[in-house]
Amino acid sequence: MSLTRRRVLAAVALTQSSLLGGCFGDDGESTPDGGGTGDGGAAATATDTATPAPTTAEPTATATATPVAHADLAAATTNVLSEFEWFRTEYDAAIRGLVTRANRVLGVVDDLESAEQLTESDVTALRSATTNVADYVTSTLTDHFAVVDALRIGDNVYVRDFERGVVRGDEGLQTAALSRTRGFYRSVVSRSYLENAFSRRPVYGPLYDMLIPGGSADRIVALASAEDDFVTWAHPDRTESTATDGIDRHTHEFPSGHRTYTHAHSHGTTHPLNDHTNEPQYNELYAHGDDGVALLEDTTSYRERLDDYEPVLTDLFGPVRSADREYGVTLMIGTVDAGFTAEPVYLERFADPETARAAVAPSDDDPVTASKTAVFADRRWDRVFYERDGTTVYAYRFRAGSAVVTALPSDIPWERRPQWSSGLEPTWLASPPGDG
């Protein structure tokens, strides 16, 4: 790779690290006061009664919790990982549960519409069914989505309208209220409603806010499981419409099979990769494929065509993936525009901080070597290097509690990337340490 090619990153202040502090006490053990037990001298016999020494109660040892390294960043990173894992492993069952309960409401409406006379007990039956939905939504879905009031409240506007009709004996109001109830819950179980209100691709709301906590509305973050069984992306919803989110994100696939997900601009129905002539400034880009993150370069530099790009380094996070992880996620952090720039980051979650610490501890058979540190957001990141495809790759690694973050692998040495962290600045990783 030409040493003149650089991915220019915006400047950041590299300041002295301020590590999260923790007060370590003693080990909690104590030694009780000892008392003499005179042996009575050589003349003492077996019948002598020893005088017991005065004793004091041994104080109960108090366990001292070991402070978690960078607890604030550890919690934020764990939240990102856990939220992604929910979408990967629990989303389908959660949506099925909603559909099942909403269909029960529709079943109650069917029964009520066929009844000759409606009473308060029928109001109770409808309210019970809608409350079952609301309780489920509150416990299962509201942590992950912004949910309309009518689904979060059992005694919602549809139930109250129906109740008014029953109390007043107004059959017209009863019929109209049941019709509106049917219409609402029928829409809830429709594919179009579910894909918009409870979108999995893209993900809006909490996951995006966890990734980009500063309120920036111009980022797209692609997320791919280390098991390569789920890919999604998170970005803002810029409109109130359920039909569009205002961001024309789309995927392009290169001839090698690697794909770019953090790419958005207005485009026609047919939009092949070779429509683009806006090549990256230094003729290289990151893309994700079945073999993980790859670095692609322009193989035909005399013409401006993105389909000329081919991988020169593949599976860039391969050597840092640990077999001891609980789960891992690859992120591609990009901007809402027509460019092809994205910053790769790899996250791993371990069972506990000790396992995470062991995963990054140096060993003779470890393919990853640490060499000094670099500062980002008042935290010291390890500079690490390893081999990929016969090339030395330079990256940055940070452990926070039971999570390990590896970022920005490149064949360009750290010393030639003084502004290395600017692509991470809008993310949760830029949060400075809290008071320790």
Taking only the tens place, the pLDDT of each residue in 317-341 is: 999 999 999 999 999 999 999 999 9
Q: Each residue of 366-395: pLDDT tens digit?
A: 999 999 999 999 999 999 999 999 999 999
Whether residue 6 has pLDDT greater than 60:
no
pTM of the full structure: 0.81
* Rounded distance between C-alpha atoms, residue 403 and residue 258, angstroms: 27
Average pLDDT, the chain: 86
Residue 20, pLDDT score: 33
Residues 6+ apart with CB under 8 A from 13: none
Beta bridge partners of 264: 249
H or E element at residue 310:
strand 309-313
Determine phi and psi for 363, rounding to 5 degrees: -150, 165
Residues 6+ apart with CB under 8 A from 131: 154, 155
Q: Which residue's entry shows tokens 């990102």?
A: 80
Beta-strand relationship, 403-410 and 231-234 = unpaired
| Residue ranges in 147-277 assigned as alpha helix (H) | 149-152, 157-168, 171-188, 191-197, 206-211
At 332, the amino acid letter reads M
Residue 243, pLDDT score: 67
Q: Each residue of 38-80: pLDDT tens digit?
A: 333 333 333 333 444 444 455 555 555 567 779 999 999 999 9
